[in-house]
Structure 1
Amino acid sequence: MVKIAVFDLDKTLWDHPDISSTIPPYTSKGLDTIEDSLGTKIRLKSCVKGMLSRLKRKGIKLCVASWNVPEKALAALKAFQIDNMFDYIVIEPHPCKEEMIRKIIKRFSEKKDLEVYFFDDNPEIVRKVRKSLPLVKAFLVGGDIKTVCEAEEMLIR
């Protein structure tokens, strides 16, 4: 059994609602904070680096499915120094996360048994993923779980 954890970025892994509205380059302002060229601060949720590291050590495949301008979101992941923690990153400028997750599943399709978990803060996106991909365990961050930090408990069971 291969577990795959798929994470949204905006308001899920970091506090900013739309990284695409920021202006790179990003500069580090401490452990979990970056700043864009206009001084807008973006904070990584405090648990994220440790959680991703522990999940990776457990063999869980870590992925991103994000509705953003790819270059900006990738630059932010690099500025936070977490881009290399992910096994596969899908960032596209549209809200169809079910399509992005299908790409992720296809990427790992050589593995016979996949268990896919998806974490996002947008209720409509979570609803669409649940409807389109019923085998994916989709969780609303801020609804089904309080914060993304709770994802770790679910994934290491």
Structure 2
Amino acid sequence: MLIALDLDGTAWDHLDISSLYPPFRRVSPLKIQDSRGVEVALRPHLPDFLKWAVEDGHILTTLSWNDFDVAYQALRAFEIDKYFHYLAIEPHPRKDKMLYKLLRQIKAERGLDIDPRDVVYIDDRDIHIQEIWENIGPVRFIHFGRDVKCFLEIIQLLNPSPRS
């Protein structure tokens, strides 16, 4: 399964990481600060979720409308960049185009033709999902903050316990 994760408002609490001024420095396990003192908090349990996803054999990617360099520096400062197999971070809102390009890249590099039903897209807003469904297909959308409040809930959704 391919898990595509939005960053702003989803992976962390800041809504526009591109507006900040690197370098970032870690001020606590779940917080970084830019050069002007603006703090950004990582969502609790996100590192646990990312570790689970990699260990469970999923392919992880970002899917983010941002300045690549700034977002990448934030991922590195939080020390979570190592979990992602791909970084789809581009300075435009067309996440369907980013995902299309990524699926072609995965097919070329790994020989995997990922069906849209095997893509899980996690975002705190649903403004991109219609274009994704129309241009990519029926990816599974998890609306962070509405469908789930915590990344541990996503593990339960994607890996439900067998019933006894």
TM-score, scaled to structure 2: 0.87
Structure 1: which 5+ residue stretches go unaligned? Answer: none
**Contact 1:65–1:89 (CA under 8 A) maintained in structure 2:** yes
Task: Please name the residue that 2:70 is paired with.
Answer: 72
Which sections of structure 2, spanning at least 5 residues, go unmatched?
none
- 1:110-125 equivalent positions in 2, closer than 5 A: 110-112=111-113, 114=115, 115-125=118-128
Deviates more, 1:28-37 or 1:125-134: 125-134
Give, in whole Å, the separation in 1 of the partners of 2:13 and 2:152. 13
How far is the alpha carbon of 1:112 from its aligned partner? Answer: 4.2
Residues 128 and 31 (structure 1 numbering): CA distance in 2 closer, same or farther, change over 3 Å? same
Shift of 1:147: 4.0
Deviation of residue 113 (structure 1)? 5.1
- Counterparts of 1:151 and 1:95 in 2: how far apart (Å)? 24
Q: Tell me the number of residue pairs that the alignment of Structure 1 and Structure 2 aligns.
A: 155
Q: Which residue of 2 aligns with 1:101?
A: 99
CA RMSD of aligned residues (A): 1.5
Offset at 1:23?
Answer: 0.6
1:58 to 56, 59, 69: 56
Shift of 1:89: 0.5
Deviation at 1:30, TM superposition (A): 1.1
CA contact (8 A) 2:49 2:151 kept: no
Alpha-carbon separation, structure 1, partners of 2:61 and 2:33: 24
Which aligned pairs between 1:5-154 and structure 2 lie closer than 5 A?
5-109=3-107, 110-112=111-113, 114=115, 115-154=118-157
Displacement of 1:22: 0.6
Deviation string 1:116-138 (CA, Å, 9 cap, x unpaired) is: 11011122112322232223112
Identity, in percent, stands at 32
Report the TM-score when normalising by structure 1. Answer: 0.91
